[in-house]
Amino acid sequence: MLIQRAGYLNFLIEWKEQQIIKVITGIRRCGKSTLFELFQEHLLSCGVAPEQIIAINFEDVDNEPLCGYKELYEHVKGRMVPGKMNHIFLDEIQHVAHYEKAVDSLFVQKNADVYITGSNAYFMSGELATLLSGRYVELKMLPLSFAEYVSAFTDPRSNLHAPDSGRTTTQKSLAGALGIPEHMPPIRRQDFQSKEDLYRDYIYNSSFPYTVGLRSRKQIHTYLDGLYNTVVLNDIVERRRIQDPAMLKSVIRFLFDNIGNTCSAKKIADAMTSAGRKIASRTVENYLEGITDSLLMYKVGRFDIKGKEYLRLLDKYYLADIGLRYYLLGTRNVDQGHILENVVFLELLRRGYQVYIGKIGPAEVDFVAQDCDGNIEYYQVALTVREERTLTRELASLDSIPDHNPKYLLVMDNDPPASHNGIRQKFVLDWLLEK
């Protein structure tokens, strides 16, 4: 099952054969290996010979003999075709001891086009980043966007489409509403009648690519259980040498239950202590670093809009995949407003923005998004603003911003687009499906 992830694929195509190392990072199972497969298919379609593609996945036990940097370098060097460009794919390279030495040695070969992946932030925070400073570009991958999730069931290239027989009128109207060719019906785990139904499935059943091929909630839960425990045990406990995994899991549960709320190490430590599990703030800080380095969650700092400065206290944390929240905590005490915030935050990351929480006087703006040219946009997210009092409250913080950068109010109200004194109100699911 190959879901076409055009944005990421185009990044690799853009940098193909340029004398720079391509680094792809992202949480485990977000689709990095599949992206390599898609790109290798592209290379073959462009006339690259199979022997010019060298692909090694270090999670395959057959490749354990190559987990030393000398052995890896000699193996790849021996397979390279002289006089032709060789495309070298090293997947989950963090399993190779001192891999940065092998990568650097391959990089200096004039006929080597090098691509590497890793499933945590550690492998780009140490010697590799220092050794290769200025000689790599990084692609940060996430699980499926809402648009990619929809396309997985409607794009014939995903191999998930079904014959047109038995298709309902509601499926046809939904396909038209999403701009999907009517001869490609959406195939779901249940019958859907609206974008809202698709969205509920997206957040509840996970955005990890593999889950779209699973046909029951039990299968999805089992898959997420394995993924979650692998991230916790391999990427956090083992890497950070944590002595109390049970306490770590309690902190993770607290964070999952408080996405979109301001948090600090002290606040978390106090909450754990009041629940009868005493823990020091410094220990919580270590846990938080491990959680974010594993790419399980993202820490979002605050930005003073008027003072144009970054604030050091009370960050917020958002999940790489909302389905993990439902897997771990079930459906109790779900704040759908914060869930929607989480989805919007991840989409802003996918679109290439640096994202912050906006602070303006006593008010707060959900997101300040800055692009690579320094242009800024402001986003406020709400479930509904159909009541006048709610609309006034949600607009207040945006209205108080003195500059004229674009301002958006994203809501789940499926109403026509509106403008409030220059603030553009959009149906958030339409916004998520924008190209």
Q: What is the Cα–Cα distance from 118 to 33, expressed in whole angstroms?
A: 10
Mean pLDDT of 50-71: 96
Q: Say what the pLDDT of residue 183 is.
A: 33
> How many DSSP H helices and E strands does the chain contain?
17, 14
| Per-residue burial over 377-387, b = 16 or more CB atoms within 10 Å of its CB, e = otherwise | ebbbbbbebee
In this predicted structure, the answer to whether residue 384 has a pLDDT above a threshold of 50 is: yes
Q: Say what the pLDDT of residue 1 is.
A: 59
Tens digit of each residue's pLDDT (9 = 90 or more) over 357-366: 999 988 899 9
Tens digit of each residue's pLDDT (9 = 90 or more) over 146-159: 999 998 877 655 54
Higher pLDDT, 401 or 170: 401
C-alpha distance from residue 85 to each of 10, 18, 41, 48, 93 (Å): 20, 11, 16, 9, 21
Q: Write down the mean pLDDT value for the chain.
A: 88
Q: What is the Cα–Cα distance from 129 to 13, expressed in whole angstroms?
A: 23
Which pair of structure tokens corresponds to residue 337? 């407003």
Q: Say what the pLDDT of residue 98 is.
A: 86
C-alpha distance from residue 356 to each of 255, 348, 369, 380, 420 (Å): 18, 10, 7, 12, 23
Which pair of structure tokens corresponds to residue 138? 């990084």
Give every strand in the sheet of 423-427, ordered side by side: 262-263, 309-319, 297-304, 354-360, 363-370, 376-382, 407-411, 423-427, 418-420
The three-state secondary structure class of 37 is: helix
Any alpha helices (H) in 277-402, and if so which ranges?
Answer: 281-293, 322-329, 336-350, 388-399
In this predicted structure, the answer to whether residue 190 has a pLDDT above a threshold of 90 is: no
Q: What is the Cα–Cα distance from 375 to 353, expressed in whole angstroms?
A: 10
In this predicted structure, the answer to whether residue 395 has a pLDDT above a threshold of 90 is: yes
Q: Say what the pLDDT of residue 159 is.
A: 45
C-alpha distance from residue 117 to each of 58, 141, 295 (Å): 10, 10, 13
Which pair of structure tokens corresponds to residue 414? 């499926």
Higher pLDDT, 178 or 87: 87
Q: What is the Cα–Cα distance from 203 to 193, expressed in whole angstroms?
A: 17
In this predicted structure, the answer to whether residue 185 has a pLDDT above a threshold of 50 is: no
Q: Residue 143 corresponds to which amino acid?
A: P
Using an 8 Å Cβ cutoff, are 25 and 121 in contact? yes
Count other Cβ atoms within 10 Å, centred on residue 217: 12
Q: Say what the pLDDT of residue 92 is.
A: 93
Higher pLDDT, 120 or 33: 33
Long-range pairs for 414-420: beta carbons < 8 A, 24 or more residues apart: 414/195, 414/196, 415/386, 420/391, 420/395
Which pair of structure tokens corresponds to residue 164? 């047109």
Q: Say what the pLDDT of residue 160 is.
A: 42
169 class by beta-carbon count within 10 Å (0-12 exposed, 13-18 middle, 19+ buried)? exposed
- CA quadruple 243, 92, 115, 160: dihedral positive or negative? negative
Tens digit of each residue's pLDDT (9 = 90 or more) over 124-135: 666 566 767 778
Which pair of structure tokens corresponds to residue 277? 């599990």
Tens digit of each residue's pLDDT (9 = 90 or more) over 93-107: 988 988 888 998 999
DSSP string, 51-92: GGEEEEETTSGGGGGG-BHHHHHHHHHHHPPTTS-EEEEEET
Q: What is the DSSP letter of 322?
A: H
Q: What is the Cα–Cα distance from 340 to 343, expressed in whole angstroms?
A: 5
